[in-house]
Amino acid sequence: MSSNTAASSSGVAGSADSSAPRRNSKRPKYSKFTQQELPACKPILTPRWVISAFLLVSIIFIPIGVASLFASRDVVEIVDQYETECIPPANRTDKVQYIQTSADNTCNRTITVSKKMKQPIYVYYQLDNFYQNHRRYVKSRSDAQLKENGSFSDVSSCKPEDMSNGQPIVPCGLIAWSLFNDTYSFSRKNEQLAVNKKGISWKSDRENKFGKDVFLNFPNNFPNDFQNGTFKGGASLNTSIPLSEQEDLIVWMRTAALPTFRKLYGKIEVDLEENETIQVTLMNNYNTYSFNGKKKLVLSTTSWLGGRNDFLGIAYLTVGGLSFFLALTFTVVYLVKPRRLGDPSYLSWNRNAGGH
Amino acid sequence: MTFWAGANDVSMIQMADVGVGICGQEGRQAVMASDFAMGQFCFLKRLLLVHGHWNYQRAAYLVPYNFYRNAVFVLMLFWYILCTAFSTTSILTDWSSVFYSVVYTSIPTIVIGILDKDLSHRTLLQYPKLYGAGHRHEAYNLQLFWITMIDTLWQSLVLFYVPLFTYKESAIDIWSMASLWTIAVVILVNMHLAMDIKRWVFITHAAVWGSIIITYACMVVLDSIPIFPNYWTIYHLIKSPTY
């Protein structure tokens, strides 16, 4: 690029012989950038660099892996799958019909604490095979409507849950319509355990995304109307509290990334001792039977790493171990069969005997 | 490649793959038809041995790299679709998808294409046999292409599944995962380039590390607009060590 500019401008001068010194030539001003002579650094991969790099990686990763694995093992987690158990055996052949018609869905479960759990203990409900990340589901919401009362008619992205009886639905969309409505209450030795349901959603959602004075018009609040094809998809909303305090709705509307996901239900703020039995009274309302979804109740403590997940610890250990192994291998190869830097016998035309 | 100076050779220059013309006493017709123009015959040596070699090396590296850069990004979207009941949910926010090719990862490519040199011009002029690398298809051939593609596949799998397994069965939401995957793919693609750069100039540093910083900045800006579904995700995520 630069030699072309120099050449063509000296060509414009008309003389084919511009190598003769002409101080007033039309050569562009010399600068390190245009002549590509900027100071540069050329790192070359020598065996010493490679081995040191791999050793460094293993030295950093192996302790992190060990720490992560210990943190994950510290977490105590109790998982209880209840969607089949909570249907009386007589109705298990047609679960969908049972869940849609039955009036009383109370179910009593017992869980045993395997290790001491320190407060706060997080209560989650876990759904399997529920695709909250389906494209049409994710799009089916109206953030403008949730934020302020003035935009309540902004329901275009919410079809089919946009209008009911000629009025726009607030909050509209499939996400709000399918709000999870199982409830759980816990007791220990006949004494009720309080579940704190405040503060379970993101603070930024409560303050900025969901408005305080949004007027609700929610079809789940009305009874099922099978004749007209409208029926409840999930929970109804308490119209006496503002939208920014409907924490269950806010948590549910943060759509999950994967088909198996957990959402925070509440927190238990007392310690649970080892081998205690907790009685759970749950209302099995939510219909996951039409799509073979599973429902699980999860009680979990947390560590600095979050919930129970061995994967990060194992991954770090694996990569650290592999790096260490590679560093050792390269050291052995370098000591046994060294290769001189800049050895011309490795040039491509010297390697292929008889190559062009 | 053909090289001539007279007006009657214009058609020959046009037929050739690369035409070089001299502008001089016989007029400029050859120059107008050619790809490169020079003032003197002696410049030809530098054009071929130095600039020809550099251009070959840069183009040969960047063509597979651009395939890699875009394929990693698209394959990551593809693996996610396997988790969404095949409903084509895009794991990247709309703005991030647009910005990826243009803002997040294009500048280092351009800078490398202009500035990277594998050997100095003195070495190249001294050992003309190095020019034969182009004839022998050393820097870009079918084998290298397929190796690049397999590497792309492997990297996209790692890129997708490591965060997936880390956050499996947790309370993470879709836009936080999107944010994580966006930054991961940008860092991966730029680090891949960084490992292959042979000659680091301060502009190169600015381009590579700057792209990563710009990605973070754009994500912070996008996550601060309340009307978007991904509001506040980056602030929420940064607080957690798992990130």
pLDDT one-digit tens code per residue, B105-148: 788 888 888 777 777 777 777 777 777 766 666 667 788 888 88
To test the contact with chain A by mutation, choose from B76, B84, B224 the residue with the greatest count of A C-beta atoms within 10 A, namely B84
A-chain residues near B236 (CB < 8 A) = 202, 204
A221 pLDDT more than 80: no
Pairwise CA distance, residues B158 & A101, whole Å? 47
Task: Tell me how many degrees the CA angle A46-A49-A54 measures, rounded to the nearest 5.
Answer: 130
Flag whether residue A144 sits within 8 Å of chain B, measured between CB atoms: yes
A141–B40 C-beta distance less than 8 A: no
Chain B residue nearest residue A261, CA to CA: B169
Closest Cα partner for A321 from A130, A67, A63? A63
Q: Which amino acid is at B32?
A: M
**Inter-chain contact A8–B232, Cβ cutoff 8 Å?**
no
- Which among A4, A130, A137 is the top mutation candidate for probing chain B, defined by the most B β-carbons within 10 Å of its own β-carbon? A4
B192 touches chain A (CB under 8 A): no
Between CA A199 and CA B58 the distance in angstroms is 55
**Predicted local confidence at residue B4, as pLDDT:** 58
Integer Cα distance of A153 and A134 in angstroms: 24
Helix, coil or strand: residue A326: helix
pLDDT tens string B104-113: 778 888 888 8
pLDDT for A5? 37
**Per-residue pLDDT band at A22 (split at 50, 70, 90):** very low
Rounded (5°) CA angle B42-B115-B152:
125
A32-36, A309-313, B205-209: which range is least confident on average?
A32-36
Q: Is A42 on the interface with B (CB under 8 A)?
A: yes
- The Cα A37–Cα B81 span in angstroms is 48
With beta carbons under 8 A apart, name residues in chain A contacting B36: 4
Residues 6 or more apart whose Cβ sits within 8 Å of residue A165 = none
C-beta atoms of B169 and A4 within 8 A: no
pLDDT(A29) > 60: yes
Residue B86: CB partners within 8 Å, gap ≥ 6?
none
More confident residue, A353 or B40: B40
A126 touches chain B (CB under 8 A): yes
Interface test with B, best of A17, A18, A137, A138 (most B CBs within 10 A): A138
Residue range B181-236, pLDDT digits in tens:
888 888 888 888 877 777 777 777 777 788 878 777 777 777 666 545 444 455 54
Q: How far apart are CA B108 and CA B64, in angstroms?
A: 15
Contact B171 A18 (CB under 8 A): no
Is B236 within 8 Å of A144 when comparing Cβ atoms? no
Nearest CA in chain A to B40: A16
Q: Are A275 and A112 in contact (CB under 8 A)?
A: yes
The H-or-E segment that residue A351 falls in is: helix A348-351
The interface predicted TM-score of the complex, written ipTM, equals 0.72
Residue A25, φ and ψ in degrees, nearest 5: -70, 170
Residues 62 to 81 of B: which have CB under 8 A from any A CB?
A: none
Cα dist. B54→B50, B58, B61, B130, B131 in Å?
6, 6, 11, 11, 10
Q: Does A36 touch chain B (CB under 8 A)?
A: yes
CB-based contact A204 B47, cutoff 8 Å: no
Answer yes or no: is pLDDT of B50 > 50.
yes
| pLDDT class of B25 with cuts at 50, 70, 90 | low
Give the chain A residue whose CA is nearest to the CA of B48: A3
Pairwise CB contact (< 8 Å): A257 & B85: no
**Region class of B27: left (phi > 0), else alpha (psi between -120 and 50), else beta:** left
Q: Which is it for the CA torsion A287, A292, A297, A298, positive or negative? A: negative
Claim: this prediction has a pTM higher than 0.80: no
> What is the length of chain A?
356
What percent of chain A has pLDDT above 70? 72
Smallest CA–CA distance, residue A25 to chain B, in Å, is 13
Q: Which two tokens stand for residue B39?
A: 């003032």
CB contact, 8 Å: B36 with chain A?
Answer: yes
pLDDT band at B97 (very low <50, low <70, confident <90, very high): confident
Q: Which of B105, B99, B112, B110 is nearest to B72 (CA)?
A: B105
Of B162, B171, B199, the CB nearest to A40: B199
Closest among A263, A321, A335, A327 to A66, alpha carbons compared:
A321
pLDDT for A235 beyond 80: no
Most confident listed range (A80-94, B31-45, B216-230):
A80-94
What pLDDT, in 10s, does the model give residues A122-139? 888 888 888 888 888 888
Name chain A contacts of B228, Cβ cutoff 8 Å: 143
pLDDT reading at A310 higher than 80: no
A262 in reach of chain B (CB within 8 A): yes
pLDDT at residue A20 is higher than 60: no
pLDDT at A169 over 80: no
Q: Residue B111 CA to chain centroid, in angstroms? A: 9
What is residue A18's three-state secondary structure?
A: coil
Q: Determine whether the interchain pair B39/A7 forms a contact, defined as Cβ–Cβ distance below 8 Å.
A: yes
